[in-house]
């Protein structure tokens, strides 16, 4: 049973296109996250949702828009893709936001913008 799943695993697209990445968790967690990991392997938080409500919204271009239809899903839509958006995007979830709550990561989506 996959705990946190993302689709697609690989995404290759042209500049200017719009794309979406889907994420689902079957752990019954209340909190979900989107991270961007660039070529230097630095994990940067983009968004966090708790029970479908946005709780973290870092300085991210408004071309990125998260959507949480229910607490098991957090999708990421990206408009007008740019070369600099090329990275691996990880979805994660945790039971809550408390101190000891570990985050469980999805397998990642490798986005390449040409």
Partner 1 sequence: GQNIDQPTEMTATEGAIVQINCTYQTSGFNGLFWYQQHAGEAPTFLSYNVLDGLEEKGRFSSFLSRSKGYSYLLLKELQMKDSASYLCAVKDSNYQLIWGAGTKLIIKP
Is position 1 an interface residue for partner 1 (rule: CB under 8 A)? no
Is position 90 an interface residue for partner 1 (rule: CB under 8 A)? yes
Question: From residue 57, how far is each of 2, 4, 95 by CA, in Å?
Answer: 27, 21, 19
Is position 95 an interface residue for partner 1 (rule: CB under 8 A)? no
- Tell me which stretch binds partner 1 (CB under 8 A): 17-25, 38-46, 65-73, 79-87: 38-46
- How many residues sit close enough to partner 1 to count as binding (CB under 8 A)? 20
CB 27 within 8 A of CB 4: yes
Give me Rg for the CA atoms of the chain. Answer: 13
Tell me the closest approach of the beta carbon of residue 33 to partner 1, in angstroms: 9
Is position 59 an interface residue for partner 1 (rule: CB under 8 A)? no
Q: Following DSSP, what letter does each residue of 64-113 receive, concatenated? A: EEEEEEETTEEEEEE-S--GGG-EEEEEEEES-SSTT---EE---EEEEE
CB 88 within 8 A of CB 113: no
Is position 89 an interface residue for partner 1 (rule: CB under 8 A)? no
Distance CA 84, CA 81 (A): 8
Is position 52 an interface residue for partner 1 (rule: CB under 8 A)? no
- Tell me which stretch binds partner 1 (CB under 8 A): 13-21, 61-69, 79-87, 97-105: 97-105
Instruction: Enumerate binding residues for partner 1 (CB under 8 A).
Output: 40-45, 48, 56, 90, 97-100, 102-108
């Amino acid at each position: 049973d996959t705990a946190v799943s993302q689709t697609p695993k690989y995404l290759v697209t042209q500049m200017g296109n719009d794309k979406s990445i889907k994420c689902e968790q079957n752990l019954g967690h209340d909190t979900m996250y989107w991270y961007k990991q660039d070529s230097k392997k630095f994990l940067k938080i983009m968004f966090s949702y708790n029970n479908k409500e946005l709780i973290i919204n870092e300085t991210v271009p408004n071309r990125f828009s998260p959507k949480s239809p229910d607490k098991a899903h957090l999708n990421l839509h990206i408009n007008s893709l740019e070369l600099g958006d090329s990275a691996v995007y990880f979805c994660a979830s945790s039971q809550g936001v408390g101190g000891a709550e570990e985050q469980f990561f999805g397998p990642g989506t490798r986005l390449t913008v040409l």
